[in-house]
Amino acid sequence: MLSYKVTVRNPSGLHLRPAGLLCGEAIKYKSSITFQYAGGTANAKSVLSVLGACVKSGDEITLVCEGEDEQAAIDALGSYRRRTGRMIRNRYNNYLQQHDQEGLL
């Protein structure tokens, strides 16, 4: 069993989009992946479970991976925050560039 502590920095907490991204990453692994939060434990492979945790900005969660590919899973989820932050910024920048070229901005 491996664990990794994360402080949620998204101003909106784990709302639908980041919950979906987290679950999309978690389901790639055979290991059991959960996270512990102030109110209990949530299944990181279930969007409804993640949303039901009502994790807010500033909350600390502990990702827990247990199973045959736990090391790969914890490594991927540990870098999840950095990758998704870049992905969202890149999408926004691409949107701005496209609309600027079309004369919409």
Active site residues: 15
By the 8 A CB rule, do 1 and 70 touch? yes
In Å, the largest CA–CA distance within the chain is 53
By the 8 A CB rule, do 62 and 3 touch? yes
Distance CA 28, CA 80 (A): 13
Write out the two tokens for 64.
């827990």
